[in-house]
Amino acid sequence: MTVDRTKPRLDAPHIRELLKTMLRIRLFEEKCAEVYTQEKIRGFLHLYDGEEAVASGIIPLLEQQDRLVATYREHGHALARGVPMGALLAEMYGKAEGCAGGRGGSMHLFSKDHNFYGGNAIVGGGLPMAVGLALADRMQGTDAVTACFFGEGAVAEGEFHESLNLASLWDLPVLFICENNGYAMGTALDISEAETDIAAKARSYAITSEVVDGMDVVAVEAAARRALQTIAKTKEPYFLECRTYRFRAHSMFDAQLYRDKAEVAKWRERDPITRFQNWAKTNGFLHDADLANIKSEVTAEITEAVAFAEAGTDEPIETLERFVMASKRPDPPEITNPGKMIQTTYREAVKSAITDAMNRDNRVFLMGEDVGHYGGCYAVSKGLLDQFGTDRIRDTPLSESGFTGAGIGAAIAGMRPIVEVMTVNFSLLALDQIMNTAATLRHMSNNQFGVPVVIRMATGAGKQLAAQHSHSLEGWYAHIPGLRVLAPATLEDARGMLWTALEDPDPVLIFENVMLYNMAGELAENADAVDIDRAVVRRTGEDITLVTYGGSLFKTLDAADALAADGISAEVIDLRSLRPLDTDTIRASVARTHRVLVVDEGWRSGSLSAEIGMRLAEESFFDLDAPPGRVCSAEVPIPYARHLEEAALPQTSTIVHAVKQLMKKIP
């Protein structure tokens, strides 16, 4: 006789365990609500009250190797996964003993030991990460499953659709669980969605989907068993829409004016704990003494958790900046003696760097729009598909947030993805994933998870592509803690920075100026990794320091040549790294020349040049014989017409003029 493993084994011990799991969540959250009113928990507090059957029916079925991505209402998920209750409550108290060192709080609970990748306060923001975690497991050949929980509000987000499409397209082992409680925040589903059958949306992406009574823990567990068995057999995603209800407000701040008491009361009649408890009693599986023992055990655990949290200590202010980036980074590479020089281009230098990285490390892969069959928008990856195949050269849909987030997830799980975003303007569609996940995860998880992803993108103007393809936004990204931002200008840096970036334990953004791809020159055949921590003096001088990066480097060098003919000796510094900034090299130069001009293709207002100028004003004021100067792009969207585009950008002539104006200013 064949045993149907999709059905729960409803013996007394299992029934009591299911009930205890739900009661642990319910009673813990009742205590959380109580201490919140005492202001021991601050910020937002989103309670899971009413939805306990979903986490309790699914999460205990996951194996230790399986991964779990939650949403901001994740106390129940964390408890069901086995994260210690004391560590959870201490985190909500903001204590150093919390599961994220007090850096995450109620909405961002993490536990590396439990493969618990945290809640995400950005609705739908965890979906791309889940896809990336599953992608890493697929590429590494494991049998792990990634379970991803989210509310029905996430269904309206583009990241929901992008993530489901990628998971289905690439046959990834993701169990998507939509906890449909009817209200995203205060807006009912039928007000916000034209199609309220969420499982139908998932089916439209060719994902096996089913609707489950989320108030029935047995039904949820049975569905989860079916889903996990199907994933194990097909290695494809599965979607569960669990129709449930939150008895409490969206958060403790919520006055609940959007739904009436009768509606809440009607749903309370279907309370998953009460229904299951009464059923178990009626059928002789549970007695009053059993229930009393369960509640006594849970109450004792909660009392202990409260004592642990209240005895917790505050993280010292002196460690505020700890774990923004990894505390230990690889040593700077040794600079090898150049070998035979070969003629090449910037484009080919980047391509050879990708090729070399993929040959060195099987964890490295390239993903992005048109990187494979098309060969890349700027032909950087042309031919790599034939060399490495579709698994490591991954064409993606036009879904910047989805595939960037997937790259981030794959990096967290141990891969070394190179994500190519076609142009910097498009990267704004992925800004959520870059800023809210890649840049924050190490700090927010208290160093439990790093994101060693490399994201490359074309930047800059000069090709008459008009405003939506031509801006220089790297200075914006240099504003974000948790990122390393690079701007290679030379063939050596185009070739060598990528490998150094791939060795970095934190997210690295590489901005390649579009006007450099065709630049030709000589490059050592044995060119290797380069040090990305330091700026480089590209030309020495005595009268003024010119600071620049990327596509403006060669205009600045040309300006230095023109100035030399007029008797002005200009030193040219190539920043190379925009975050962190090598201010030591800049200050040392200014201490000799006593004047500085920053050339920056970003807009003047809020620019990187403004940051450099202010730092010099703070740190090198008495070395300056004139105010810091700058040449930036005009404060207009980059225009199409060539003469207007050229007028909008820093040019050699404008740099020369600005230097001469600065030289007229004497102490």
Supply the residues annotated as catalytic.
Answer: 400, 469
Tell the burial category of 566 from Cβ atoms under 10 Å away from its Cβ (0-12, 13-18, 19+): exposed
What is each CA distance from 125 to 83, 149, 198, 301, 551, in whole angstroms? 22, 11, 18, 32, 33
- For residue 306 the two structure tokens come to 């409260």
Residue reference for tokens 């149907």: 4
Specify whether the CB–CB gap between 366 and 384 falls below 8 A: yes
- Give every strand in the sheet of 67-69, ordered side by side: 67-69, 146-151, 174-180, 238-243, 208-213
What is the distance between the alpha carbons of residues 37 and 252, in angstroms, rounded to a whole number? 9
Specify whether the CB–CB gap between 47 and 73 falls below 8 A: yes
What is the distance between the alpha carbons of residues 453 and 533, in angstroms, rounded to a whole number? 17
Q: Would you list the DSSP string of 345-381? A: EHHHHHHHHHHHHHHH-TTEEEEETTSSSS--TTSTT
What is the distance between the alpha carbons of residues 423 and 466, in angstroms, rounded to a whole number? 12
Give the other-Cβ count within 10 Å of 268's Cβ: 12
Beta-bridge mates of residue 520: 345
Specify whether the CB–CB gap between 174 and 206 falls below 8 A: no
Beta-bridge mates of residue 596: 545
What is the distance between the alpha carbons of residues 298 and 25, in angstroms, rounded to a whole number? 9
Maximal C-alpha separation, the chain:
99
- For residue 561 the two structure tokens come to 């040549």
- Give every strand in the sheet of 484-486, ordered side by side: 393-395, 364-368, 416-421, 454-459, 508-513, 484-486, 577-579
Specify whether the CB–CB gap between 579 and 547 falls below 8 A: no
Quote the crossing angle between the two packed helices 126-140 and 400-412, to the nearest 10°: 50
Residue reference for tokens 């900034």: 581
Kindly state the helix (H) or strand (E) to which residue 590 belongs, with its residue range.
Answer: helix 583-593
- For residue 329 the two structure tokens come to 């980074």
What is each CA distance from 135 to 362, 403, 409, in whole angstroms? 14, 11, 8
Q: Would you list the DSSP string of 184-195? A: SSSSBHHHH-S-
3 state SS of 532: coil
Fill in the amino acid letter for 557: L
- Of 107, 63, 80, 98, residue with least CA distance to 26: 80
Angle 30-35-37 (CA atoms, 0-180°, nearest 5)? 100
Specify whether the CB–CB gap between 342 and 522 falls below 8 A: yes
Give the other-Cβ count within 10 Å of 295's Cβ: 14
- Within 13 Å of residue 325, how many CA atoms lie on the same side as its CB? 16
3 state SS of 399: coil
